[in-house]
Amino acid sequence: MSPTIDSGASRYRDLFSGAIADALRNDQAVRAVGEGGAAARGRADRYSDLDLIIVADLAEAERLFERVEAAVRSIAPITHIWRVEPPAFAEMAQRFYFVDNTPPHFAIDCSVITPTGVLAFLEHERHGEAIVAFDRDGVLRPRPLDTAQMTRRRTDRLAQLRGSTPLYSMLVAKELERGHALEAYGFYQVLLRALIELLGMQHRPDRFDFGWRYVERELPAAAQKLIARHAFVADSTSLPDALASLAQEIKRLLESLSAASGSTPPA
């Protein structure tokens, strides 16, 4: 029987990352193997996944995933595989694995990323510092955030949110008038995501685009309460009042952030 790994310890991440790194260490197509995610930011806990980074050309991805899966199966059976198609980021191939006899909620998030594609995940302020298993060329060295580029991204996104918020507010109201509460709630969720991004610009500007991730660890209590107040809508009859309140909060944040950035809303 495969060993059951103690759910109260972190060694299961070390066990699988070590086995995978050993399987790839002598493969010259692999430039580096490291761990990102919560571990790279010093936040790993008993629920944290293994976020594995394999730096190689994408032409090698299928072969490398086969080697990864063989290494994982040498420890315990794989019970589920998600092949992410299309990938979430350019120059990346990604698979998620569930493994038998591991702690609850554990998964292996394994990405093959090109040497240029990995650069976006090495900005220390956004992603921490990768835990390196091996690195032939120093490709996993942390790099500073491009602050000018990040400022442009926030400014551009702010302009997009100024433009889109009235539209999505109208769509929520329209579908409520039609009696389509589920469609209205779908559009409402877009506005809720906008609120989180704007609060991110205010409180975690270098990571404003992380969405729901880490809101309970990175946003202040007042911001969390604001999100919760608008996220937990009791039923469809509560949605009109929630929409009015949410739109008002978004408008307030848009005005405040636009003033702070010196950008002028269009007439």
CATH number of the domain to which 128 belongs: 3.30.460.10
Position 264 scores a pLDDT of: 57
Q: Is residue 160 within 8 Å of residue 266, measured between CB atoms?
A: no
61-73 vs 11-24: helix crossing angle, rounded to 10: 130
Same domain, 201 and 235: yes
- For the chain, the C-alpha Rg in angstroms (whole number) is 22
Same domain, 105 and 166: no
Query: Could you say which DSSP state residue 262 is in?
Result: T
* Within a domain: 125: yes
For residue 220, whether the previous peptide bond is cis, meaning omega lies within 30 degrees of 0, is no
Spatial CA neighbour of 151 closest among 224, 257, 264: 257
In this prediction the pTM is 0.89
Print the domain residue range for 154. 147-261
Residue 46: band (very low, low, confident or very high) from pLDDT cuts 50, 70, 90: confident
pLDDT tens-digit profile of 92-143? Answer: 999 999 999 898 889 999 999 999 999 999 999 999 999 999 999 999 999 9
Sheet holding 92-99, edge to edge: 78-83, 92-99, 108-113, 50-55, 32-35, 131-135
Query: Could you say which DSSP state residue 143 is in?
Result: B
Same domain, 58 and 111: yes
Same domain, 26 and 120: yes
pLDDT tens-digit profile of 157-185? Answer: 999 999 999 999 999 999 999 999 999 99
Last residue of a domain, one of 135, 155, 179: 135
Q: Is residue 15 within 8 Å of residue 102, measured between CB atoms?
A: no
Last residue of a domain, one of 110, 135, 160: 135
Does residue 144 carry a pLDDT above 50?
A: yes
Residues 119 and 140: their CA atoms lie apart, in Å, by 8
Residue 47: band (very low, low, confident or very high) from pLDDT cuts 50, 70, 90: confident
Same domain, 118 and 93: yes
Same domain, 96 and 30: yes
Beta-carbon contacts of residue 70 (< 8 Å; ≥ 6 apart): 23
Same domain, 114 and 211: no
Same domain, 114 and 166: no
pLDDT tens-digit profile of 8-25? Answer: 447 889 999 999 999 999
Same domain, 188 and 118: no
* Within a domain: 5: no
Residues 103 and 100: their CA atoms lie apart, in Å, by 9
Other C-beta atoms closer than 10 Å to the C-beta of 162 total 18
Same domain, 82 and 156: no
* Within a domain: 142: no
Does an H or E element contain 108, and which?
strand 108-113
* Within a domain: 141: no
Last residue of a domain, one of 95, 115, 135: 135
Residues 108 and 81: their CA atoms lie apart, in Å, by 10
Position 35 scores a pLDDT of: 96
* Within a domain: 74: yes
pLDDT tens-digit profile of 62-105? Answer: 999 999 999 999 999 999 999 999 998 989 999 999 999 898 88
* Within a domain: 110: yes
Looking up residue 239, the CATH number of its domain turns out to be: 1.20.120
Type of residue found at 92: M
Residues 121 and 40: their CA atoms lie apart, in Å, by 10
| Total domains present in the chain | 2
Same domain, 97 and 152: no
Same domain, 28 and 129: yes
